[in-house]
Amino acid sequence: MNWKNINLKDNSERAQNIIDPLSFDTLLLEISCNLQHINEGTILQQFEEDLQSRVQSAREVMKNNLKNILKDAEEYRDS
């Protein structure tokens, strides 16, 4: 799948998440792999880093596909 040019006519591509989910499992794995010292502050910092990374990625996907989204939204409205 080309994240820079999502095919919104394809049901599989259309169903993809714009922003990656963040589960407790993923967060705990990140904590165990990335943090030398584990405390509330470092856990919160790891969470914020993970969250911001996902937000930045979602912004890039949105920016790269804005024309596709606009075209599909206009076609949907006109149908």
pLDDT of residue 5: 96
Chain center to CA of 46: 17
Determine, yes or no, domain membership for 1. Answer: no
Residue 53, domain member (yes or no): yes
Supply the range of the domain harboring residue 15.
11-78
- The answer as to whether 2 is a domain residue is no
Give the pLDDT confidence score for residue 64 in this predicted structure.
97
Q: What is the pLDDT of residue 46?
A: 97
3 lies in some domain: no
**Domain total of the chain:** 1
**pLDDT on residue 79:** 84
What does each of the 79 residues of the chain score in pLDDT, given as a tens digit?
A: 999 999 999 999 999 999 999 999 999 999 999 999 999 999 999 999 999 999 999 999 999 999 999 999 999 899 8
CB 17 within 8 A of CB 75: no
Model confidence, pTM? 0.84
- Whether 18 is covered by a domain: the verdict is yes
Domain membership flag for residue 5: no
- How far does Cα 56 stand from its chain's mean position? 8
Q: Could you give the dihedral angle defined by the CA atoms of residues 34, 35, 41 and 45, in that order, rounded to the nearest 10 degrees?
A: -10
Contacting residues for 13 by C-beta, under 8 A, at least 6 apart: 1, 6, 7
